[in-house]
């Protein structure tokens, strides 16, 4: 038993194939069933938390069973990132103080969708204006923008009891709400029954109609968030949850159940074929049969067909296909397509359905999406730092590049060879040499030069790990190594560094231009978006009928 990774009582995540990973508790080791042949056993029996079903893990391997992280627990035990957690479940990171230095929240004015302001790197890679937060920024456990930025969350729950199909709901915005505006930012309208409308002030009204996608009796848990008072520490974000049970969800006279099911089956078949086509295209790229441009074109066409289908059948399979639509946009993003907005838009839409399986599926992809935000921010901060170096703002550039490197340990979106560390090393080397020439006291110049040397060593190691440059090494790295070696020799003889410094600044301007032009070995320039982001938002279903 000592060879097993987990003990009885351990909280684990189990791979259930199409249903994704589910949270459970190990309840037995060396599990056997009576009909198994002698000697056959499973390492673990697990009780799933969601429905208390008992399963066994066939092999003690991370592909089948892994340790549950704090994010796994949060996803399984609450509806969204703003819902309350039991104290013993709260494995969240410490809150940052609201408006912390370097990442101040603020709403200066309207920003069109798709502007990707998170690329500036502030506010923990969330939009710095909470009034513009998207569904993933509000609801995803991997983004947790309210928590990361230290905002208060005021939760308000309303229970409307039971209502039958054909009955009216008229729930006005209550005086108990601290703010009665802004609730249409990202409400989970997919959870409402047909015929019921939700208003920006938090009111609910309409006559409940039959929903062919739901059981005879079903529970509604509408969640809406107002960020109108985000900067009021007594209020912050207001999370409104309205729950009620719908009964009598029976087909009205004239409704053809068989025709409806046939229509759903046909739509489901089209969606499955689209996923197979997407998978086949990606496999062909991995085998080298398609280049990145052909791959993006083919996958893009398939994704548009899948999106068109979901606009006609928005509630198909409880939102599962919206999660797949967002997830496959991640593949084209990996090929440098400017598509992270689509990933987040459709995965966020999947979160609004409330189905736990769909939520898990979306969150599995959103973990990577948030990491891609960090990578994108690192890349664009890098470019900002290069622009500062071009203007001769060496100390400011060093700080910008330090922030860029801190996002993902020196990596960026398609920045793979230590270039961010290298750029910071150059900025520090130039600034330190300038300080030394000006006679700075207290060893300040030496500290800048020593830090440049340390960063250069990290860049060299990262470039060597890539094994793509051959014995000559990364061309800019090699050049900076030689420049630093010359400078160290000049220091020993107290030589005049004026000409050396002018040459280094000139070559730095050249390399910065190469990066910004997308020349090899640097990442290519960002391609323009294929579709207007605002138009994509407008195309999302509203679920009012």
Contact (CB, 8 A) for 352 and 362 = no
pLDDT at 89: 57
pLDDT at 55: 94
Tens-place pLDDT, residues 344-392: 999 999 999 988 889 999 999 999 999 999 999 999 999 999 999 999 9
Tens-place pLDDT, residues 445-455: 999 999 999 99
List the one residue out of 20, 15, 5 whose CA is nearest residue 358.
20
Percent of the chain scoring above 70 in pLDDT: 96
In order of 50, 172, 179, 201, 275, the CA distances from 175 in angstroms are 35, 9, 9, 11, 48
pLDDT confidence bin for 100, thresholds 50/70/90: very low
Average pLDDT over residues 503-513: 97
Per-domain boundaries in the chain: 11-68, 153-247, 257-374, 379-517
The token pair at 393 is 């703002």
List the one residue out of 536, 114, 48, 142 whose CA is nearest residue 359.
142
Tens-place pLDDT, residues 171-214: 988 778 888 899 999 999 999 999 999 999 999 999 999 999 99
CATH hierarchy code of domain 153-247: 2.60.40.10
Tens-place pLDDT, residues 388-414: 999 999 999 999 999 999 999 999 999
pLDDT at 95: 47
Residue 289 backbone dihedrals phi, psi, to 5 degrees = -85, -20
Tens-place pLDDT, residues 35-52: 999 999 999 999 998 888
pLDDT at 542: 87
Helix (H) or strand (E) holding 373: helix 356-390
């Amino acid at each position: 038993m000592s060879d097993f990774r987990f003990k009885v009582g351990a909280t684990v995540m189990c791979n259930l194939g199409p249903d994704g990973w589910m949270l459970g508790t190990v309840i037995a080791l060396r599990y056997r069933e009576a009909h198994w042949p002698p000697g056959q056993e499973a390492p673990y029996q697990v009780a799933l938390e969601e429905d208390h079903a008992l399963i066994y893990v066939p092999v003690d391997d991370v592909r089948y069973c892994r340790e549950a992280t704090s994010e796994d627990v949060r996803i399984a035990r609450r509806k969204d990132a703003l819902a309350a957690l039991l104290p013993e479940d709260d494995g969240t990171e410490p809150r940052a103080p609201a408006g912390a230095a370097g990442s101040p929240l603020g709403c200066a004015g309207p920003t069109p969708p798709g502007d990707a302001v998170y690329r500036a790197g502030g506010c923990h890679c969330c939009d710095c204006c909470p009034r513009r937060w998207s569904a993933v920024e509000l609801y995803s456990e991997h983004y947790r923008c309210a928590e990361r930025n230290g905002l208060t969350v005021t939760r308000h729950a309303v229970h409307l009891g039971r209502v039958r199909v054909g009955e009216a709901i008229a729930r006005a915005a209550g005086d108990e709400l601290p703010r009665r505006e802004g609730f249409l930012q990202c409400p989970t309208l997919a959870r409402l029954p047909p015929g019921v409308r939700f208003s920006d002030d938090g009111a609910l009204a309409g006559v409940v109609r039959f929903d062919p996608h739901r059981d005879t009796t079903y529970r509604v848990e509408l969640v809406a968030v107002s960020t109108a008072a985000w900067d009021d520490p007594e209020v912050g974000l207001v999370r409104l949850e309205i729950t009620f049970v719908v009964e009598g969800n029976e087909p009205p006279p004239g409704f053809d159940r068989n025709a409806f099911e046939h229509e759903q089956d046909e739509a489901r078949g089209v969606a499955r074929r689209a996923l197979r086509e997407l998978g086949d295209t990606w496999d062909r790229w991995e085998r080298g049969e398609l280049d990145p441009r052909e791959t993006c074109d083919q996958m893009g066409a398939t994704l548009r067909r899948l999106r068109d289908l979901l606009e006609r059948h928005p509630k198909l399979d409880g939102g599962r296909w919206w999660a797949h639509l967002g997830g496959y946009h991640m593949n084209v993003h990996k090929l440098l397509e400017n598509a992270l907005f689509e990933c987040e838009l459709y995965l966020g839409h999947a979160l609004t359905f409330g189905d736990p399986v769909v939520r898990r599926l979306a969150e599995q992809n959103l973990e990577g999406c948030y990491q891609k935000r960090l990578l994108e921010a690192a890349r664009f901060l890098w470019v900002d730092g290069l622009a500062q170096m071009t203007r001769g703002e060496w100390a400011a550039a060093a700080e910008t590049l330090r922030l860029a490197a801190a996002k993902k340990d020196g990596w960026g979106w398609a920045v793979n060879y230590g270039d961010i560390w290298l750029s910071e090393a150059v900025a520090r080397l130039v600034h330190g040499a300038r300080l030394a020439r000006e006679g700075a006291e207290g060893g300040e110049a030496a500290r800048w030069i020593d830090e440049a040397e340390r960063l250069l060593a990290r860049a060299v190691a990262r470039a060597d790990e890539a094994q793509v440059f051959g014995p000559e090494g990364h061309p800019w790295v090699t050049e900076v190594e030689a420049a630093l070696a010359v400078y160290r020799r000049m220091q020993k003889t107290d030589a005049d560094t004026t000409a050396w410094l002018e040459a280094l600044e000139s070559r730095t301007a050249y390399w910065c231009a190469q990066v910004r032009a997308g020349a090899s070995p640097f990442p290519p320039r960002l391609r323009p978006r294929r579709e207007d982001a605002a138009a994509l938002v407008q195309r999302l279903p509203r679920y009012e009928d």
